[in-house]
């Protein structure tokens, strides 16, 4: 087993499927809430891929890239923003949080999990991208 493989355990089997279904559920739920909130679909389209700008942190190195990507693609900040949006009755804050959570949900559904510092392709949901050595 390579060092990268030993340090990058990933969910497999039914657990992996469950995590991906949770992502799909989150995506669908946030889209429905955004629709019920009567959010602007232009804003949705404009902001949906903004979290992917965190990829740019990989230009520094894999460890920093993983840290920034994971910070942007974890539930903590958008859920805090969602709570703030409801608490302050702020439509823009609420819209941003719903879009951000929808983005994370579809990423997880597609297998783009949180990253390990071994490289962008090593995620908690398994390897993504081209497999080396196969």
- pLDDT for res 64: 97
Q: What is the pLDDT of residues 74-127, one digit of tens each?
A: 999 999 999 999 999 999 999 999 999 999 999 999 999 999 999 888 999 888
Distances (CA, A) of 66 to 53, 86, 124: 13, 30, 12
Confidence of residue 16 (pLDDT cuts 50, 70, 90): very high
Domain residue limits, the chain? 11-127
The tokens for 11 are 């969910």
More confident residue, 1 or 17: 17
For 101-119, b where at least 16 C-beta lie within 10 A, e where not — what string?
bbbbbbbbbebbbbbbbbb
How many CB atoms within 10 Å of residue 127? 19
In 3D space, the residue among 42, 33, 19 whose CA is nearest the CA of residue 105 turns out to be: 19
């Amino acid at each position: 087993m390579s060092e990268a493989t030993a340090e990058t355990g990933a969910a497999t089997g039914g657990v992996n499927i469950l995590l991906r279904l949770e992502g799909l559920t989150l995506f669908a739920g946030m889209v429905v809430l955004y629709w019920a909130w009567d959010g602007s679909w232009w804003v949705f389209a404009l902001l949906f891929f903004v979290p992917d700008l965190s990829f740019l942190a990989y230009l520094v190195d894999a460890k920093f890239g993983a840290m920034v990507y994971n910070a942007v693609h974890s539930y903590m900040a958008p859920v805090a923003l969602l709570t703030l949006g409801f608490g302050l009755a702020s439509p823009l804050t609420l819209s941003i949080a719903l879009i951000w959570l929808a983005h994370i949900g579809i990423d997880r559904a597609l297998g783009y999990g949180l990253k390990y510092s071994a490289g962008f392709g090593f995620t908690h949901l398994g390897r993504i991208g081209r497999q080396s050595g196969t």
